[in-house]
Structure formats: structure tokens, C-alpha cells
Structure 1
Amino acid sequence: MQPTLAHERRTTVDEIFDHLYGEISSLRLRPGDRISEAEIAAQFGVSRQPVRDAFTRLANLDLLLIRPQRATEVKRFSSREIEKSRFVRAAVEAEVLRRAARLCDADGAGRLESCLVEQRKVIADGDFSAFGTLDYAFHKTLCDIAGVDFAFEVISSEKAKVDRLCTLGLSKEDRMPQLLEDHEVIAAAISAGDEEAAVKAGMLHLSRLDSTIEAISKSNANYFDPEDR
């Protein structure tokens, strides 16, 4: 896709991608659901090409399974891909946390506290989707403080691959307060310049999804790739 100027309108591909990404990540479209290129094209009143391009972008995020001459479907979870994603994210985030702890100043500490204030508010409101957005913002702030804003591209890409599991975990187990507490511990360690404490808290934070994965694999085995079962 060609780069566009800031004042130009978003493309049809962007609009279709965002719509489908929202449907998939919110689980309105569930793992294994079939999705029709023709139906989406009709819904948006466009040709199939922009739909095809949006499908390709979603497939690159491991959210769609596109098979020639067969129906496209929302991709099921893969235990191997989850493990791979977690490995990559842990390696990147550990370095981000170390750098952030070394470089954090009063302004950085204030930005982290502002993130926490917003998170506390949405928890009080029980707003699951808003917390997910603020979770991304918190990790982006850590990357900014660490001076490696590009690292957030990797982190957000890996997070996107397991966001649906996070949605299930948050909505079914109401774990937002626990995740907020993790963020508070991470922010405190960063603000204090304690690299090891920051990394330890960050790795614990990443491990919170383990019990959710195990529970969902038992209660909704059909959400996982048949090869995992």
C-alpha cells in the first residue's frame, strides 16, 4: 500500500481491516467461523480487491486462515504460535524494561502514573475494551521512555496474536484489577530505576495468561487448532 499524507482519507482497505479486526479481536467472529469475501464486499459496497487486501493483512497477523479454493475462516488458536509469540515478546520487553528503568526521569514517571490513573478509572467502570486499549498505551509509554519506540511495533504485533485470549480472560475472569496491579509494580520499579525488579514484574505480568490458555483449551477446545488437541 502506498503511503498517504496525514490529511488524506483512510482507504477502503483500512476501513475493512479495522472492522474485521474489531470483530475478530472482540470475538464477535470466533475461531473457526467462516468469512465470505463476497459478503464483505457487498457489505461495504466495494469490489473484492480491497477485501482481499484486508484479508491478507489479517492473515499476516495470524487472525485469518486463507486457503485456495476453500472458505476463509477466522484462525483458531495455535499452542505453538502462542508459545512463539510469548518468547519473542518476553525477550523484547525484558530489554525495554531494563532500558526504561535506566532512563526514566520525573517526566517519564509522571507519564506512567497518568496511564495508571486512566486504567483505574475504566476498571471502576468495568470497561473491558477500554482497558485493552490502555494496556497498549502503557506498553507504548514504556518503549518511549526506553528510547526504543520501534520496539512497540514488535510488542503490539505479538500482542495482537493473543488479544482474543486476553478478551476471553478479561471478560470471563475479570482479571483487570490483577493486571492493573502488575502495571503498578512495573511502573514503581521503572520509576525507582530498579532494572531487575522491573524485568521480574514484567515477566510475571506476561505469565498471567497461562491459566487462561489452559482453561480455554479445556472449555473451548474447538477454538484451538485440531493439531493441538
Structure 2
Amino acid sequence: MAQAPYVGDRRPRVDNIFDYLYDEISTLRLRPGDKISEAEIAARFGVSRQPVRDAFSRLANLDLLLIRPQRATEVMRFSMREIEKSRFVRASVEKEVLQRAAKHCDAAGGAKLDACLKRQDYVIEAGDLVGFGALDYAFHETLCEIAKADFAFEVIWVEKSKVDRLCRLGLSKEARMLDLVADHREIADAVKAHDAERAVKAGVLHLSRLDETIEQISEMNASYFINKDA
């Protein structure tokens, strides 16, 4: 586990602890099934256990931690059922977002999408997986803004965060990043052309990119998964 940052007085301590642990889990420095100690985290940050408990609770609500009474807290393993549920919710929301974005996109919106793609090309050239992950979120947030449905990104963020670790495992291959950017470009082109049907089709393909990754990881790292029917 990486060294915890200094906790100043400007932000609530629980936020700092949450951000630190979220980063540790999402970047796979903490792997599915790894145990995590409330006392150890409290000691790292020099705080009481209460802000740690609060941070743990927030992470559990995102399905990133499994908290069990009288047993060690551990990083949540993947659940096939929860992955399917998350993707169902996200696909439903993003379909509406893309239809609205195609309807409302103007020159300013198109310029924002082009800027997103330009930044993605830069981080891919640099081989920056972490940077690409952040820009992936920014692209989908921009689509929500263009759709005049910024509230939808709150749902997308929650559901996306539940499978981000799988995405990161898949992004170890440069070709996958190139595929995702190609999807983003197709989505952007369709939105700018006000072609809702084409945008939705590209969005469905984009979400399906994870299927092969899930299959490969479940075979090679079975311990990362709960019972497939769970």
C-alpha cells in the first residue's frame, strides 16, 4: 500500500481517507480479496477510527469494500451478477444521454468533444493508463453536459466505478486503449452529426468491450471473483 498523504485541516479527514483508499483500490495496488485494517489506516493518517469507518462505509456503498462484523474488512471481489446489474443501469442511462446529446449538440459542444479526444490521444501516446482513465470519465461527463443532463453523470460515475478495476486490468494492453478512443471518436462524430441512432449503436459497442476482459480475468484470476452466481 502506498504511503498515505499528509492530512491537513482544509478538507474533512474522511474525504482524504476515502480518496486515498479509492485510488489504492481503483489502481489495483489493493487487489480484490486483500484485507484492510481499520486500525492500520487510522494509524497511517494519525486519526481516530471514526473517520476511517466513515470512509470504509462510503467505499462499501460503491461495492469496493466488504465490511463484515467481527471479521477483517476486505477489498470486494468481483460479482458477475453485480457487473451485469451495473452495466444494465449504465447502458439504460447512457442510451438516453446519447440521444439527448445528439439532439442538443452545438458547435461549442462539438469543440468540447474534440478537445477531449485530443487529450486522450496525448495520454495514449505517453502510455499513461491513469491519465486515460481520468479522461474517459471526462468524456462521458462532457456528453452528459451536452445532453443537458449533467445529473446523469452521477449515476454513470457510480456504476462505472464498480467495474473500473476490470477496465484497468484490460487497459494493460495498448490495443484496448486504442479501441476505446476509436469508440469515443465514433460516438463524438455521431453526436456532432445529430445522428442519435448511430451514437447509441457506438455506445453499445463501447460498453461491450469489457466482455472479453471479464472472461479472460475470470479464467486467469478466479480468486478475484465471488461465486459467479453471487
TM class, shorter-chain normalised? over 0.9
Letter in structure 1 aligned against 2:116: C
- TM-score normalised per structure 1: 0.95
Matches of 1:126 and 1:87, distance apart in 2: 30
* Counterpart position of 2:42: 41
Question: CA offset at residue 171 of structure 1?
Answer: 1.3
- Residues 208 and 227 (structure 1), Cα distance of their counterparts in 2 relative to 1, 3 Å cut: closer
- TM-score normalised per structure 2: 0.95
* Counterpart position of 1:79: 80
Question: CA offset at residue 226 of structure 1?
Answer: 3.2
* Counterpart position of 1:117: 118
5 Å matches for 1:1-229? 9-172=10-173, 174-226=175-227, 228=229
SS across alignment from 1:214: helix
SS across alignment from 2:21: helix
Count of equivalent residues:
222
Matches of 2:152 and 2:44, distance apart in 1: 36
Give yes or no for contact 2:81–2:228 (8 Å, CA) kept in 1.
no
Question: CA offset at residue 10 of structure 1?
Answer: 1.2
Matches of 1:48 and 1:57, distance apart in 2: 14
Q: How high is the sequence identity, in percent, across the aligned residues?
A: 71
Letter in structure 1 aligned against 2:107: A
| RMSD between aligned residues | 1.2
Matches of 1:127 and 1:178, distance apart in 2: 15
Give yes or no for contact 2:104–2:147 (8 Å, CA) kept in 1.
yes
- Residues 108 and 227 (structure 1), Cα distance of their counterparts in 2 relative to 1, 3 Å cut: closer
Give yes or no for contact 2:102–2:190 (8 Å, CA) kept in 1.
yes
Letter in structure 1 aligned against 2:135: L
Deviations 1:60-105 (A, max 9, x none): 0000000000000000000000000000000000000000000000
SS across alignment from 2:53: helix
Q: Which runs of 5+ in 2 are unaligned?
A: 1-8
Q: Which runs of 5+ in 1 are unaligned?
A: 1-7
Runs of 4 or more off by more than 3 Å in structure 1? Answer: 226-229
Question: CA offset at residue 55 of structure 1?
Answer: 0.1
Deviations 1:15-37 (A, max 9, x none): 00000000000000000000000
Matches of 2:175 and 2:28, distance apart in 1: 16
Which range is displaced more, 206-215 or 165-174?
165-174
Matches of 2:173 and 2:34, distance apart in 1: 21
Deviations 1:158-201 (A, max 9, x none): 00000000000001464111100000000000000000000000
